[in-house]
Amino acid sequence: MKSKIEALGRIHKEFPPRGNVQLFQLDKPATFTCSLRKVEVSSKKVGLDLRTGDVLSNGAYGQLLADQKSKA
């Protein structure tokens, strides 16, 4: 699944997984469509849903983290 992130650009930093999501920082901003919010985003930070392999914006990553904490 990490290959979806690598397809966007070179990974500069890989943050530890938090629940079902993981955040990556790329060397350069990449433009992609967030799978959760269905909008085009340009960002160096890209999230990955580890359950589905969906590429997420930084905002969607935070939203999923908040949802996980509220269910705990």
Question: What's the DSSP call for residue 18?
Answer: B
Banded pLDDT at 63 (limits 50, 70, 90): very high
Each residue of 15-52: pLDDT tens digit? 999 999 999 999 999 999 999 999 999 999 999 999 99
Q: What is the pLDDT of residue 69?
A: 80
Banded pLDDT at 72 (limits 50, 70, 90): low
Sign, CA torsion 55/29/14/68:
negative
Query: Under DSSP, is residue 51 helix (H, G, I), strand (E, B) or coil?
Result: coil
Euclidean distance between CA atoms 48 and 62, whole angstroms: 11
Where are the domains positioned within the chain? Answer: 2-71
Euclidean distance between CA atoms 67 and 44, whole angstroms: 23
